[in-house]
Amino acid sequence: MLESIFAWETLTSALRMTTPLAFAALGGVYSERSGVVNIALEGIMLIGAFFAAVGTYFFGSPLVGILFSILAGMGLALIHAVVSIKFKVNQIVSGTALNMLAAGGTTFLSRLIFKAAGSSPHIKGFEPWSIPILSDIPGIGLVFKSLSPLIVFMFIIVILSQYILYNTVFGLRLRSVGENPQAADTLGVNVYKYRYIGVLISGALGGIGGAFLSLEHARVFVENMTGGRGFIALAAMIFGKWNPIGSFGACFLFGIAEAVRMRLEGIGIPTQFIQMIPYILTMLVLAGAVGKAMSPAADGIPYEKEEL
C-alpha cells in the first residue's frame, strides 16, 4: 500500500490535481488583492470547463477551447465586477447568485447543445509535452515525460504573477486599491479601474482552471464537474495568504492530498477524512493556529468615492 503512495505516479497525479486549483487560486489572488471577494470562482471554473468543451468540440482544437473558457470566465467575472463594484452589492450575495447562474446555465446549455443529458461528447485534449533534459533524470524524470502544456503554463503564470504583484507598478497599484483605496485614490490611482482589472483577470484564470478539468482531466464536460473546486481554490488562496507562490504551495498540498485519496480508494481507508483536510487546514489558518492570515485590508468592502 505504501509503495503505491510513494510512487512518481502519485506526484504526476498530484500535479494534475493541483493545476486547476492553482489557476483558480491565482485568479482569487488578483481579485481579492484588488479588494473584491470572489466566491464566484466556483461558477467561473464551471463555465470555463463548459465553454472549453464547446470550443474544442466545434473547432476541433483545445486551443480554441481555452480561448472560449477565458472569454466565458471573464464574462461571468464582468457581471460580478459590475454588480459589486458599480452597484456595490454585497460581494458574497453576488458570488452566490453567479454560482447558481453558472450551475443552471451550463446544464441548460449543455442539454441544448449536446442533447445528451448530463455530459458532452468526448473531446480531444492537448498533446502532452515531454520536457527535454528534465525527463532524462532517473526517477523524477517520469513526471516530465508526459506533461500537459497547461501544467507548464501554470508554473509560468505562478512565477509571473508573483513578479507582477510585487515588482511592478501595476502590481503595487492593484494591491494598494485592496489595502487602502482612499489613499490610492488620493494619489491618483483609479480604484474602480484596478478593481475591474483584478476581477477580470480572476475570470480569465478561473476559466482556464475549469478548462483543465474538461480538457485534461475528463476529456468531457459533465454537469457540475467542478464539485466545489472553486471553494477549495479559495481556501488555498487564504492558506497561501493571498500570495501567488503561497497559494500555489497550498494548492500543491491539496493536490497531494487528493492524489493520495485516489490511491487509497478501494483500500478501505475512509477517503472522506482526507477530503476534509484542505477545509480543516483553512479553518486552522483563519483561526490563527498556523500563523496569522492577513487578508487585504479593504477586501470585500465596496469603494465609495467621497462626494464633494
Partner 1 sequence: MKNKENLVEILLNILSPIVSTLLALIFGGIIILLLGHNPIETYKEVISFALGNANGWGYVLFNATSFILVGLAVAIGFKGGLFNIGAEGQILVGGLASAISGVYIAPFFPAFLHLPIVFIFALLGGAFWAFIPGILKARLGAHEVINTIMMNWIGYALTNYLVINPFREKGVLYPLPQTAKLPESATLPKLAPFFQSIGINIPNSNPLNASLIVAILAVVFTYYLLWKSKLGYEIRALGSNPHASENAGINVKRIILVTMLISGAMAGLASINDVLGYRYRFLDNFSHGLGFTGIAVALLGRNHPVGIIFSGLLFGALDRMAIGMDIFTHIPREIISILQAVIILTIAIGNEILLRFLRRQRRKAMYA
Residue 291 makes contact with partner 1 by CB under 8 A: no
137-143, long-range: CB within 8 Å, 24+ apart, which pairs?
A: 139/8, 140/8, 140/11, 142/8, 142/9, 142/12, 143/8, 143/11, 143/12, 143/15
Closest listed residue to residue 128, CA positions, set 110, 109, 148, 144: 148
* Piece in contact with partner 1 (CB under 8 A), picked from 1-9, 148-156, 243-251, 284-292: 284-292
- Nearer CB in complex with partner 1: 43/125: 43
Q: How far is the CB of 273 from partner 1 (least distance, A)?
A: 7
Residue 273 makes contact with partner 1 by CB under 8 A: yes
- Nearer CB in complex with partner 1: 25/98: 98
Residue 275 makes contact with partner 1 by CB under 8 A: yes
Dist CA 274 CA 254 (whole Å): 10
DSSP 307: P
If one counts every other C-beta atom within 10 angstroms of the C-beta of residue 293, the result is 16
If one counts every other C-beta atom within 10 angstroms of the C-beta of residue 132, the result is 8
Which of 112, 133, 169, 308 touches partner 1 by CB under 8 A? 112
* Piece in contact with partner 1 (CB under 8 A), picked from 18-26, 87-95, 175-183, 208-216: 87-95
| Exposure string for 10-19, b = 16+ CB within 10 A, e = fewer | bbbbbbbbbb
Restricting to residues 191-250, which ones interact with partner 1 according to CB under 8 A? 228, 231-232, 234-235, 238
Dist CA 96 CA 101 (whole Å): 9
Residue 290 makes contact with partner 1 by CB under 8 A: no
Residue 3 amino acid letter: E
Question: Which distant-in-sequence residues (6+ apart) come within 8 Å of 302 by Cβ?
Answer: 84, 85, 88, 89, 91
Element (H, E) at 16: helix 8-33
Q: How far is the CB of 148 from partner 1 (least distance, A)?
A: 26
Q: How far is the CB of 40 from partner 1 (least distance, A)?
A: 11
Which of 15, 45, 83, 205 touches partner 1 by CB under 8 A? 83
Q: How far is the CB of 190 from partner 1 (least distance, A)?
A: 21
Residue 94 makes contact with partner 1 by CB under 8 A: yes
Per-position DSSP letters for 142-185, written without gaps between them: HHHHSB-HHHHHHHHHHHHHHHHHHHSHHHHHHHHHHH-HHHHH
Element (H, E) at 237: helix 229-239
Which of 79, 131, 152, 189 touches partner 1 by CB under 8 A? 79
Which residue shows C-alpha cell 484564470?
Answer: 205
- Nearer CB in complex with partner 1: 118/121: 118
- Nearer CB in complex with partner 1: 89/189: 89
Residue 282 makes contact with partner 1 by CB under 8 A: yes
Restricting to residues 7-36, which ones interact with partner 1 according to CB under 8 A? none
- Nearer CB in complex with partner 1: 28/209: 28
Helix boundaries (H) for 187-228: 191-212
Binding-site size for partner 1 (CB under 8 A) equals 43
Residues in contact with partner 1 by the rule CB under 8 A: 37, 39, 79, 83, 87-90, 92-94, 96-101, 103-105, 107-108, 111-112, 228, 231-232, 234-235, 238, 270, 272-273, 275-276, 279-280, 282-283, 286-288, 295
